[in-house]
Amino acid sequence: MEKEFSRVRSAQDIIISSILIVAGAVLVALPTSASVNIVGFFLIFAGLILVFTLKTCYRLEGTKEIYRKAEKFFAQSKKDSFTNAISTDPGKIDTSEEDKGNGLRVDVYYSRKTGKAYCRLYEYIPYRYEPCTPFFEYKISQVENIIK
């Protein structure tokens, strides 16, 4: 079965949006100057935009598990070693080589609650990243060096 992750709202996203909307409503409701009311309307507007756009978590299709995502970018020359490391032991990935190129991307979806992590390697083909490997499931302790 191919794993698919979709973006969803986290509790933190909802709290941030709610705080902005409530703070804006309080500023509008207070009998203050017009400039404070304008700031209040701006906060309400920003909160409403975030309600519809802010999605920082991922959900594995078919389950209710929520995951965070970590991305690391590496040089294209590391493709063979990273392909082997992803399929056997992702702890072998040398993260000191990060950001020395952008031909490869390692995505890790992890959940501290369940202790699961899914790793996948992508290769840059002009205009987008294409998967090089399928998703591999690991314990979160095995990918700790990547998600730091």
| Any domain includes 63 | no
Query: What is the number of structural domains in the chain?
Result: 2
Encode pLDDT of 77-109 as tens digits.
888 888 888 888 888 787 777 777 778 999 999
On whether both 48 and 73 belong to a single domain, the answer is: no
Phi, psi of 98 (to 5 degrees): -65, 145
On whether both 112 and 132 belong to a single domain, the answer is: yes
Phi, psi of 30 (to 5 degrees): -70, 140
In the numeric block, the tokens 């902005």 are attached to 20
How is residue 126 annotated by DSSP?
T
Instruction: Label each residue of 36-79 as H, E or C.
Output: HHHHHHHHHHHHHHHHHHCCCEEEECCCCCEEEEEEEEECHHHH
- Percent of the chain beyond pLDDT 90? 57
Range of the domain at 35: 5-58
- Does residue 1 have a pLDDT over 70? no
pTM more than 0.85: no
On whether both 52 and 79 belong to a single domain, the answer is: no
Encode pLDDT of 37-92 as tens digits.
999 999 999 999 999 999 999 998 888 889 999 998 988 888 888 888 888 888 87
Q: Burial, 58: exposed, middle or buried (Cβ in 10 Å; 0-12, 13-18, 19+)?
A: buried
- Percent of the chain beyond pLDDT 70? 99
